[in-house]
């Protein structure tokens, strides 16, 4: 097999990374190389913690593959889940530019790869590349906006409505399928929607009884989207 020399030279995967255009589209080649040389790609197994709240912030991080949850542990020891996101949505965004330490913890719900770039380098790039800065602002504010929007959507609904909303979120936004594997426990759904896990489970059972979902453990099927959407809208 013939391999083009130039292709071979670009051994750094950043050049061809599908996420490159998300943040780094406005960088010159040399700067992409710089990012690429200093970056670290870290793998996390399902369940592993990527960082704890209180850890020092050294890197700008984004998810390359997998699924993560951002959460805070309250003084009573229970988790408040802030958001569950896939690649192309930034993580650890809030606070990295104005604080020393993470306010929230981040852990992997599925095997995940996180790209870490020294925050100092990102700062440097912002300083000398306005287009990069402008694009970054746009991406960061979209991430924050998604978190705020999620919290508004959840807090206006009752128990059934919240669960319907979350199921639709998984189905439509995360998996693009009527059938999917829940990446979280019932308890974690409870922590996301601020309800007790017993009542989350009960609602699942009711949805199953009423033919709104079919579920077997973490496997979920939504036979009729409309029904679930009705519940999400009215609840």
Residues that bind DNA (CB under 7 A): 158-160, 185-187, 194-199, 201-202, 204-205, 215, 217-218
Q: Does 178 bind a second copy (CB under 8 A)?
A: no
Query: In the stretch 68-107, what mask flags binding to a second copy with x, by CB under 8 A?
Result: ----x-xx----x-x----------xxxxxxx---x----
> By C-beta, is 15 or 195 nearer to DNA?
195
Shortest Å, Cβ 229 to a second copy: 13
Q: Considering CB under 8 A, how many residues would be counted as binding a second copy?
A: 40
> What backbone torsions phi and psi does residue 134 show, to the nearest 5 degrees?
-60, -45
Q: Return phi, psi of residue 210, to 5°.
A: -90, 5
Residue 127 interacts with a second copy (CB under 8 A): yes or no:
yes
- Candidates 119, 139, 160, 230: give the one binding a second copy (CB under 8 A): 139
Q: What is the DSSP letter of 55?
A: P
CB-count burial class (<10 Å; 0-12, 13-18, 19+) for 117: buried
Picked from DNA, a second copy, none, the partner binding residue 101 (CB below 5 to 8 A depending on kind) is none
196 lines the binding site for a second copy (CB under 8 A): no
Whether residue 56 contacts residue 100, with contact meaning beta carbons closer than 8 Å, is answered with: yes
- Please choose, from the candidates 173, 171, 161, the residue with its C-alpha nearest in 3D space to the C-alpha of residue 221: 171
Nearer to a second copy, 97 or 180 (CB): 97
> From a second copy, DNA, none, which one binds at residue 201 (CB under 5 to 8 Å depending on kind)?
DNA
**Measured in Å, how far apart are the chain's first and last C-alpha atoms?**
60
Helices assigned H by DSSP within the chain = 5-9, 20-23, 29-38, 119-128, 130-155, 159-168, 186-193, 197-209, 225-234
Rg (CA), the chain: 20
Given a contact cutoff of 8 angstroms between Cβ atoms, the answer to whether 11 and 74 are in contact is no
Does 151 interact with a second copy (rule: CB under 8 A)?
yes
> Is 133 a binder of a second copy (CB under 8 A)?
yes
Identify the sign of the CA torsion 63, 83, 197, 232: negative
Interface with a second copy (CB under 8 A): 72, 74-75, 80, 82, 93-99, 103, 123, 126-131, 133-134, 136-142, 144-145, 147-149, 151-152, 155-156, 194, 233
């Amino acid at each position: 097999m013939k391999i083009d020399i130039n292709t071979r030279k670009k051994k750094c995967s950043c050049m061809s990374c599908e996420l490159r255009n998300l943040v780094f589209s406005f960088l010159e080649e040399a700067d992409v190389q710089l990012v690429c040389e200093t970056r670290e790609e870290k793998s996390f197994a399902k369940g592993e913690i990527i960082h704890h709240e209180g850890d020092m912030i050294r890197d700008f991080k984004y998810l390359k593959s997998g699924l993560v949850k951002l959460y805070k542990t309250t003084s009573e020891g229970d988790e408040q889940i802030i958001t569950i996101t896939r690649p192309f949505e930034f993580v650890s965004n809030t606070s990295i530019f104005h604080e020393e330490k993470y306010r929230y913890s981040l852990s992997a719900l599925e095997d995940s790869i996180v790209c870490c770039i020294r925050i100092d380098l990102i700062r440097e790039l912002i300083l000398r590349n306005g287009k990069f800065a402008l694009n970054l602002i746009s991406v960061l504010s979209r991430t924050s906006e998604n978190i705020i929007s999620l919290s508004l959507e959840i807090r206006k609904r009752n128990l059934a409505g919240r669960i319907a909303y979350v199921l639709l979120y998984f189905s439509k936004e995360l998996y693009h399928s009527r059938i999917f594997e829940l990446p979280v426990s019932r308890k974690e759904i409870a922590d996301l929607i601020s309800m007790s896990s017993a009542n989350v489970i009960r609602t699942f059972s009711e949805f199953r009884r009423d033919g709104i979902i079919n579920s077997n453990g973490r496997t979920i099927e939504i036979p009729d989207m409309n029904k679930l959407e009705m519940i999400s809208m009215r609840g």
